[in-house]
Amino acid sequence: VLVVAASLQPKRGHKEIIAPGTEATVEYTYSGDEVDIKALVNGEERSAAVKVSRNILDNDQLLMTLRAIPFAEGYEAATLLIVPANALRINTTVRVQGREKVEVPAGTFEGWRVELDFGQSKQQVWYEVEPPHRMLQYDNGAQRLVLLAD
């Protein structure tokens, strides 16, 4: 995902998906109040347009862009998450729940615990307290990612 540096708003993206029964290439461009999506899925061309607002994030930028939020206990912000691969819009609330020690293979760190509330599901992500606020751990209930090396 390419983003606008000043605002961190998504501009365009490219994604290749290879999964059992699916091979897809997705190209998308954010323009004005919509994202235009063009895809080649198992050899079949598809397209879609999704209406968007100004306060949006692309699903593939979310975890890294959150490193720029003003970390403070109780911080909360709402955004519209766009998932171009599925042409989905997901209302999302980001909540900083507090500081805690996080143990990962790279070591033990002081981290910010952040909740991602998608309405029907929630995920947790931990960011290092010290800048540049590296992502230490991510848990979506099915997968857990951790920082391996310092």
Q: What is the mean pLDDT of residues 63-86?
A: 96
Q: With 90 as the cut, is the pLDDT of residue 53 above it?
A: no
Q: Which pTM does this prediction carry?
A: 0.90
* Amino acid, res. 131: P
User: Could you tell me if 134 and 127 are in contact, meaning their C-beta atoms sit under 8 angstroms apart?
Assistant: yes
Q: How confident is the model at residue 48 (pLDDT cuts 50, 70, 90)?
A: very high
Q: How confident is the model at residue 71 (pLDDT cuts 50, 70, 90)?
A: very high
Domain enclosing residue 73, as ranges? 2-146
Average pLDDT, the chain: 96
- Around 119, how many Cα atoms within 13 Å sit in the side-chain half-sphere? 8
* pLDDT at position 150: 80
Count how many domains the chain has: 1
- Around 109, how many Cα atoms within 13 Å sit in the side-chain half-sphere? 23
